Amino acid sequence: EIVLTQSPATLSLSPGERATLSCRASQSVDSYLAWYQQKPGQAPRLLIYDASNRATGIPARFSGSGSRTDFTLTISSLEPEDFAVYYCQQRFHWPPITFGQGTRLEIK
């Protein structure tokens, strides 16, 4: 089973700042990694798929990069609605499809 490790666990930033979130896989997942955003009381929302492709309707301030074992989600300039929990997910080695444990992005 592929283990995804996200860092940091919590990231405290202010609106307008740049956010950089990391996801590391226990073995290569090629580019088959996605990022999700989850707000309290809501289901997750797909942001990025195949490491760097934005999902439909996702603002351009969200970008993804990386391959094999190291991946990054970047939010170029934080908006108030961006403060949430972010998860990475791999689909290269499955079953099972696995998720990271999440990074909480909070307002500083």
Partner 1 sequence: QVQLMQSGAEVKKPGSSVKVSCTASGGTFSTYAISWVRQAPGPGLEWMGGIIPLFGTPNYAQKFQGRVTITTDESTSTAYMELTSLTSEDTAVYYCARASDSGTYYYFDYWGQGTLVTVSS
The residue among 14 and 56 lying less far from partner 1, judged by its C-beta, is: 56
Question: Minimal distance in Å, beta carbon 16 to partner 1?
Answer: 25
Exactly one of 44, 66, 73, 105 binds partner 1 (CB under 8 A); that residue is: 44
How far is the CA of 23 from the CAs of 31, 53, 59, 93, 104, in angstroms? 12, 16, 21, 16, 13
Structure tokens at 46: 């797909």
Torsions phi, psi of 98, nearest 5? Answer: -125, 155
- Give Cα 29 distance to the centre of its chain: 15
Q: Does 58 bind partner 1 (CB under 8 A)?
A: no
Interface pattern 2-31 for partner 1 (x via CB under 8 A): ------------------------------
Name the nearest CA neighbour of 73 among 24, 8, 12, 20.
20
104 binds partner 1 (CB under 8 A): yes
- Contact residues for partner 1, defined by CB under 8 A: 1, 32, 34, 36, 43-46, 49, 55-56, 85, 87, 89, 91, 94-99, 101-102, 104
